[in-house]
Chains A and B, each alone.
Chain A
């Protein structure tokens, strides 16, 4: 009985095989030809200790291997077998290619214009913003807007950013840990109602957050957790578990079971296996989960709006619309507050881009 590998999934896997056949063929083919690793093996080098590349030569025989296609963002150009000289000659862009560079860079810059405008507005006085932030002559750079936002009377940024961190950090850590703990048996063992749980998770992934607001509002009010950080953290954890469990389950299904089986034979308990095999080996996926969940919780607006009411407990995204004021919008203040709020997820994205993108792709492509 030990680990009959996910037999309840067999039926769904079979149908998936059909619908995904096209996808398998294309991503599978190139990786098989150059190395015995699966598509993910090639770029996930950060799990340095992983030996799966070598042991996975029989990849074709795994039935579930086929459904675990990960569309990777390439980290390097495809290698070619031309000589250095040919390559140098070819690397001089032709006219058509040069035009493509120009178009591509123009579009990418255009895409940034609204955010550049926001940044420009945050460092210029209102009188200049009204004239148009894109007029650069006679530009005065001031940090007055930031100072104002930092001390904004109905929710100073120094306070609300701290509050946002108080809510975000525990929600992310707990959801990652609990999510892995649920995902591990979900991926490895059979138990009754497994398919039912699978559908519940899927429905929560697709459902709008507004659907749980009314029930949670009453639950929190009855338990005295309304308008507390703890209440909001719990709501975020419960809501986040849906996608986190699905994501990690899919990841664990793609990890080889042999190591865990070997540890079983050597007499390791399930908890030891979880701690010393499952957790370390899913580290890249855990980082992806943490980064995406952090961005989600930090940026979330609806849950804090509903569950946090006291002035001193407000979170940063809640305060930003208040900064608009009534008559003339103080763009400098709004922009400075926005920049202060978005700087955290953006720095995180830049620092952990690879995990973020891999996670985004895997979360939905699986």
Chain B
């Protein structure tokens, strides 16, 4: 296993020097050696660390997912066995519950459900708040108030949600009994069928600040005279939004949606803090990140499975990476 890893690393490291050689071959007439040296000096320290601690481990996981593991040690090649086992693991996908739409459905469907509910909500709320605050005095303070949760550590967010939904001390239940819904008072994070939505609401609370920030800056780029002339031409509030504002902020929406999806895909600390390493009772709001941690670092250690689950996350993220790249 050690050899496997170190070869990985050395190929990564080797890209830099070999790159310079091919450079030399293609332009043999006037090689600016001073410049080549400068490129190497500038890039090698950073890229070495990047290769060892980011790219190397990714390639390692990609290979490792096809091998059997004894705790943290690489054993023999097993092909797709671990992949197949992973998709039969109830913690990842619980096929029975999935067909009857009952939680726990497994981390993969739950993570996707989180995405499907969370991303549109936080996007629309962010756009709504950006429009609401756009021309008010003190908008910077208002925006900072909404954005504050986004700068808070995610562990704290999880604990705050635990506190908000607490049956005794939580303000959410107090609010429910305040408006005459005493029957609804419960420990929201312990109810298998609804706990995940309570957490998603918390996620939306955090991320709305971020999408609001992006939309605000896009709105700031709109020429006020454009809106003014639309108003003079008799366009109502809705028409002005649909025909003037929306086409101009549409490109930002793609960014907001992608960042939201990546954020949801990386959710870990919120769920860990609110529901422990198992992700709530029976893992009813477990997510993929939590399953990686569980498989890799809690007994029994299933290193291969952890790698498979992490790679599933990567596959979900790759289209987004591709989109980001195509924007450049």
List the interface of chain A (C-beta within 8 A of B): 1-2, 9, 12-13, 15-16, 19-20, 22-23, 26-27, 29-30, 33, 39, 67, 69, 71-75, 77-78, 80, 100-101, 103-105, 107-109, 111-115, 117-118, 121, 129-134, 178-179, 181-182, 184-186, 189, 191-193, 196-200, 202-219, 221-222, 234-235, 237-239, 241-242, 245, 250, 269-271, 274, 295, 298-299, 301-302, 305-306, 317, 320-321, 324, 329, 331, 334-335, 338, 341-342, 345-346, 349-350, 353, 356-357, 360-361, 364-366
Known contacts A216-B57, A241-B54; is-contact A134 B159 (Cβ 8 Å):
no
Known contacts A19-B326, A214-B310; is-contact A204 B55 (Cβ 8 Å):
yes
Known contacts A185-B39, A210-B268, A360-B210; is-contact A133 B151 (Cβ 8 Å):
no
A71 to B171, CA, bound (A): 37
Residues of B within 8 A of A133 (CB): 169, 171
Check A364–B259 contact: CB distance below 8 A: yes
Check B55–A115 contact: CB distance below 8 A: no
Excluding A208-B265, A212-B53, A241-B54, 8 further A-B contacts by CB distance (< 8 Å) are A118-B160, A132-B174, A179-B46, A211-B311, A320-B153, A335-B163, A341-B155, A346-B152
Which of the candidate stretches B83-91, B114-122, B191-199, B221-229 sits at the interface with the other chain? Answer: B221-229
Residues of B within 8 A of A350 (CB): 144
23 of the cross-chain contacts (CB-CB < 8 Å) are A1-B32, A2-B35, A12-B326, A39-B221, A73-B143, A104-B133, A111-B209, A132-B169, A179-B46, A181-B43, A198-B325, A206-B262, A211-B58, A215-B57, A215-B64, A219-B52, A241-B49, A306-B293, A329-B166, A334-B163, A342-B151, A360-B210, A360-B213
B30, B164, B168, B318 interface centre (most CB from chain A within 10 Å): B168
A217 to B60, CA, bound (A): 11
Residues of A within 8 A of B1 (CB): 218
> In residues 138-187 of chain B, which contact A (Cβ within 8 Å)?
140-149, 151-156, 158-164, 166, 168-169, 171, 174
Check A202–B221 contact: CB distance below 8 A: no
Residues of B within 8 A of A301 (CB): 153-155, 268-269, 272-273
Residues of B within 8 A of A185 (CB): 38-39, 42-43
Check B268–A302 contact: CB distance below 8 A: yes
A106 to B1, CA, bound (A): 58
Q: Does B101 contact A (CB under 8 A)?
A: no
Known contacts A16-B327, A109-B145; is-contact A215 B213 (Cβ 8 Å):
no
B19, B45, B163, B222 interface centre (most CB from chain A within 10 Å): B163
CB distance from B220 to the nearest CB of A (A): 4
Check B213–A357 contact: CB distance below 8 A: yes
Q: Does B292 contact A (CB under 8 A)?
A: yes
Residues of B within 8 A of A331 (CB): 163, 166, 169
A111 to B248, CA, bound (A): 27
The majority secondary structure among interface residues of chain B is helix
List the interface of chain B (C-beta within 8 A of A): 1-2, 5, 15, 19-20, 22-23, 26-27, 30, 32, 34-35, 38-39, 41-43, 45-47, 49-50, 52-61, 64, 72, 129, 132-133, 135-136, 140-149, 151-156, 158-164, 166, 168-169, 171, 174, 205, 208-210, 213-214, 216-218, 220-224, 247-248, 250-252, 255, 259, 262, 265-266, 268-269, 272-273, 276, 288-289, 292-293, 296-297, 303, 306-307, 309-311, 313-314, 317-318, 320-321, 324-328
Residues of A within 8 A of B171 (CB): 113-114, 117, 132-134
Candidates B72, B174, B220, B269; contact of A73 at CB < 8 Å: B220
